[in-house]
Amino acid sequence: MSITPLNALRVSKHQIPAYEGIPNTSIQGKPLMIYHGVFADPNPSTIESHLKSVGVVSPQWRYTMFSETHFHSTTHEVLSIASGSAKCCFGGEKNEGRVEPVLEQGDVVVVPAGVGHRLLEDYGGFQMVGSYEKGRTWDMCYGKPGEEEQVKQIGSLGWFKRDPVYGDEGPSLKV
């Protein structure tokens, strides 16, 4: 499978401040990263095959993004857009520091643990492959009271030793 060469890859990086019960990038300081147009032929099977071959994350589902803001406290998430496009919100919809990109087929989003995210508008056929660090299971947090212990554990999570898409090189290793 061919992916966009690193020297031609466009990457957007975003630090998102904490908002109410959503820590966003405030705990680890690792940015939300969008790798634009990684996969030229982004069908779910080829995405899963590529990610498995790199060996950093395990693909776990094929679906759209939930429409309620949520985050994960136990693992970082890698979202690979297999089809369609959609406007998503990262950081909480009332957070002045939020990011609302339009994600398109072929993009990959590296979502650090703690970053709130939700679907705002599906422009048609939006489907992703959701992947998580090997050996980790994901949880669901919503920024509500009672999640404080889950939020605290984000600080003890490590960061990628290899880039989930590019292996020994790649944008996630330079943050």
pLDDT in tens, 61-92: 999 999 999 999 999 999 999 999 999 999 99
What CATH number corresponds to the domain at position 90? 2.60.120
- Examine residue 84 and state whether it is found in any structural domain, yes or no: yes
Specify the pLDDT at position 1: 67
pLDDT tens profile 5-31: 999 999 999 999 999 999 999 999 999
Residue 113 pLDDT more than 70?
yes
- Examine residue 113 and state whether it is found in any structural domain, yes or no: yes
Q: How many domains does the chain have?
A: 1
- Examine residue 73 and state whether it is found in any structural domain, yes or no: yes
- Examine residue 160 and state whether it is found in any structural domain, yes or no: no
The band of 53, judged by pLDDT with boundaries at 50, 70 and 90, is: very high
- Examine residue 31 and state whether it is found in any structural domain, yes or no: yes
- Examine residue 66 and state whether it is found in any structural domain, yes or no: yes
Mean pLDDT of 125-137: 97
Domain that holds residue 140: 10-146
- Examine residue 77 and state whether it is found in any structural domain, yes or no: yes
pTM score: 0.97
Q: What count of Cα atoms within 13 Å lies in the side-chain half-sphere of residue 166?
A: 18
> Dihedral of CA 95/101/106/107: which sign?
negative
- Examine residue 126 and state whether it is found in any structural domain, yes or no: yes
Specify the pLDDT at position 136: 95
Mean pLDDT of 34-41: 95
Percent of the chain, pLDDT > 70?
99
| Residue of 151, 150, 169, 149 lying closest to 161 (CA atoms) | 169
